[in-house]
Amino acid sequence: MRGFMQAERTLLSVAVLLVVFNAAQANPLPEETWNELAEFVPEFARSPSPEAAQRLAFLLRESPGAVIVNQNAEIVRANMDLFAPHLVEAHRPGVPRTLTPRVADVYLEMADHAHREPMLEVLRSWLDEVPVSQETRSMYEDVVPVTLENQIIVAEILSDANDAEAIPAMRALQATIPEHTEAWVHLDQAVMRIESPLDAGFLVPTEGSGVRLTRSGAVARVLVAGQAVSDSLAARILDGLSMCKSHNRTALTRGGVLVRVEFPDGLVGKLTWSEGDSFIYTDNTRENESRRERVGVQGSDLAATIGGVLRTQGDDSHPLAKMPN
């Protein structure tokens, strides 16, 4: 009897393993499809059979990022007529399982006019769709749903591609959003980067390792450690910020946001302390966090002014509060 029960358990275990194996084959892990696509790109370039084309379409739908890793981007560039239709189709609403802006970016950077236009047209089509509601998102398990967030991410791809033809659709989508909300700001900035790029954002690094403030701070509300400061202190902080040097050391941050600069249209610039008189600047001009600019800024006047404000607020423990004002 005991032997029979052991045999029964063994058979059950084998059956469970078979079910798990078959499920894994039917629904491969993202890492598996990534690795397969990374290896499949040169193979497809050598032997682009109809069966291989079907496999490429599946892999691009599941895990498109691998198409541009290592030497694959150059293979795609050299065989653009072969790969372009599949890459364009993989970005059509209702097709991809993941939205990977970097793939579209690289494609648009290396494509000529004839190959760019089909991709731009497909990306624009996202903006014409009616976004799904929060309640119905769970119904879209097999594809990326057309949500407002994803429409804004696509708008940012089009903005960075300087696609002026997308502006009317961006403005039409923006008109459906309450003014001065973050989504409204994201679309407004996407249009501005095309129409008036020098006025977009708030702080940008210059070629001479300085920074440039793209808008007046006279209408801004400035907060230090969560507390609003006077107009005169706000002006000093913004003057100190405008005199900062820029650098690329943006990995190290200590604590939360130290300074917020809030504008009436909803744009918010933030400074997080890094070390010494260095800060990391970020803002909310983009929906896609991976595309948001991080600028390292360094300025002793700015650090001293912020330290003085912290002391006034009663925070003597922060390193900046120990700097001479």
- Kindly list the domain boundaries of the chain, sorted by start residue: 26-199, 203-322
The Cα–Cα gap between 285 and 215 comes to: 14
134: pLDDT confidence band, cut at 50, 70 and 90? confident
> How many CB atoms sit inside 10 A of residue 26's CB?
7
Give Cβ neighbours of residue 39 (< 8 Å, ≥ 6 apart): none
What is this structure's pTM?
0.84
151: pLDDT confidence band, cut at 50, 70 and 90? very high
Stated as kind and residue range, the H or E segment containing 150 is helix 148-160
Environment class of residue 304 by beta-carbon count within 10 Å: exposed (0-12), middle (13-18) or buried (19+)?
middle
Main-chain dihedrals φ then ψ at residue 302, nearest 5 degrees: -60, -45
Q: Which of 216, 159, 226 is nearest to 187 (CA)?
A: 159
Span 83-106, pLDDT tens digits:
999 999 999 999 999 899 999 999
Give Cβ neighbours of residue 124 (< 8 Å, ≥ 6 apart): 158, 163, 165, 166, 169
Percent of the chain at pLDDT above 90?
A: 75
Cα Rg of the chain, angstroms: 25
Q: For residue 30, what pLDDT is reported?
A: 66
Q: Which residues pair with 271 in a beta bridge?
A: 259, 281
325: pLDDT confidence band, cut at 50, 70 and 90? low
Say which DSSP state 210 is in: B
How many residues in the chain? 325
